[in-house]
Amino acid sequence: MIAIIDYGLGNLFSLQSSLKEIGCDVMVTRDPGEIKAADRLILPGVGAYRDAVRLLKKDGIGELVKSQAAEGKPLMGICLGMQLLFQKGFEYGEYEGLGLIPGEVRDIRERIPENLKVPHIGWNELILKDNNHPLMKGLKDGDFVYFVHSYSAVTPEENIIAATEYGAELTAAVARGNVTGCQFHPEKSGQVGMKILRNFAEM
């Protein structure tokens, strides 16, 4: 069973529909018992880092996610959910994330040319950094996925399994042990996204 964690932000039901389409047992929940009983966890997210941090603290959901990851349960963050896996984010101030992957989440305008639009919205190519990682199984350089973001993770190279080019090389997917994340939306990324979700379900 895959539990999509409902902490108040995220494309919960489109993600749930995509997982059901590939034959996964999946539920949307914020119930601690159901989260603990699940085989895998997905932390989604759409919106601002500041708001997400506040919501994760409510009812101890963030601490529960951290403890489940510490026990070795596969966890995938998506979009803002991926950003929350890091130590800090700097959207509307400075806020502590879950600290599951070393690094910070910073405004992409610090790195990209001024003429490029922010947020970065649309289809963009993947640059694979670790073809052998289970989450990237069956993917290739140049596969397109769908992004909507203004902030990007800055993390040591060993944590990056895919990047994308948008005026600069930006982090697209990360992994550290049983914790993984995608800056893009697999549930909006056609067959490539479905493959990634299937890979996660098989990890």
Could you say which of 104, 133, 185, 202 is catalytic? 185
Cβ burial, residue 129 (10 Å; 0-12/13-18/19+): buried
Distance of alpha carbon 88 from alpha carbon 106, whole angstroms: 9
User: What are the residues facing 42 on neighbouring strands?
Assistant: 4, 76
Cβ burial, residue 196 (10 Å; 0-12/13-18/19+): buried
- Cis before 113 (ω within 30): no
Could you say which of 91, 120, 149, 187 is catalytic? 187
Could you say which of 79, 120, 149, 182 is catalytic? 79
Greatest pairwise CA separation for the chain in angstroms: 48
> What's the one-letter identity of residue 83?
Q
Neighbours of 11 (CB within 10 A): 18
In Å, what is the CA distance from 102 to each residue of 5, 85, 108, 112, 154?
22, 9, 18, 22, 9
The answer to whether 193 touches 136, Cβ cutoff 8 Å, is no
**Known catalytic residue at 187:** yes
The answer to whether 168 touches 161, Cβ cutoff 8 Å, is no
Task: Indicate which residues carry an active-site annotation.
Answer: 79, 185, 187
